[in-house]
Chains A and B, each alone.
Chain A
């Protein structure tokens, strides 16, 4: 006891300089002072430079007339629209290409990942070659390859390649029939929504009943009937309001139909192909990560191979797959900024054009950064919810 008293009373023998607390405060103050000085220096320089170049800071420029055209617009836009609207158009384009790319990359990636574990030697090797090729070349090169290597050397419009369902492929892109919704077609969408809601309800009830009584209910077929059948019924009742506007060949160009421009097509295909290789590896690692005992135990319980995969392996593999899959989705979204290299007007490209026209470098780069950051955070948030649903529920 006495010795402890002594220890407590005696002031630290080590010098003041060696006290971790004092050191920690000293270093942090040093960091703050240095950082503050650096930021102050940069801000001063920037103010001087902006004054010298006669550039007004602030976001007022967004209300100015844009004066440039954008080739792909999802919302109404003309060169008379504002800079702000141009950036919004770019942002929507980014969302479109990223969304389409994510869906396709996931599909191809899952097929390839499962293919790499197939019992079939040939399929295994084909998938491996694909993955090893695409994982090891830059995405920008893949984009250029589709753009100048494949799509640019397609025939001119007069000699378009005919594809099934009245679609055409030529130098200017991919043309397919456009659906024209007539009067009363709102009924079909309402029916679709009702069908989905009812299918969800049926699935819930069926699960509750199976939990309670053990009796199964053919959920899949019922849902299919509801989701497909109801809209079809509505389609017939409202007098078949759907017609198609087919692309037609004229002397120099195709008219009508829906045109997908080569810029979008090459960016979309390249991002899908490239990211699919990474997703395939993630899927493979996820499935391999489920221990073999699980499969064997399920087999011992008498489950059939299909059921083993659906009820035992996939739910556990998804836990491993989802976190890295999220970062691949984020990568794809960020890689969509490569659009600028082939002239697809995504956010980076339109903001870059605005930057060149107005000289508002700081504001434009800031807009880009904030938008991508928010997109990243949103995607992570959504995937975190999915992950939480899938995560191991322990007692």
Chain B
């Protein structure tokens, strides 16, 4: 099967600190893959490298055969990758609807001249974007908040909105950065269901970072474990759970 995302030898330094070292990954369409590891293992750095927030010191990232290294974030997102953030990064003063409409940014097919003269094309496109955004809000149970400022939403709803915004760019690959952070067990169950639903409904491949074993064990088909930037294990959830190096990273080494 043709791989969707192919990462080879990805390495990144922060000054003298090796944040990610020789990271390899291959994702094929329709998978849910997890990236786990203790705090500071370099998980978010991997996401930042994929989405062009940082430029890798070495390595290649190919998405559907296209090289992403060297592209700007905005170009990378337009190729069909979307992400959420570990700490929620919504446009807080904008309405929920505008947050989702911004996700559609690259999909609006009108130029600045159309906007200035409010051409027919502009009106059609704006209507299409608004309808699609409202549809997404409906699917995420956020319709009643459409005209509320994003910052006024309860925490759980803000997390949902961030996923909705990411999806509105019509991605093929969704990167979720600790989607379960700050959630209680009941909310986590809900989230797991939602991710499974997302994957089928939007035909997505999902790559997610998680801290809590419980989450990744539940939904991931494959897991990569990072520790101090090094990949220490790759495999199915069951293998990972008993992998000696993973246990060591999470629980510490036994004193002999």
- A and B co-occur in one complex: no
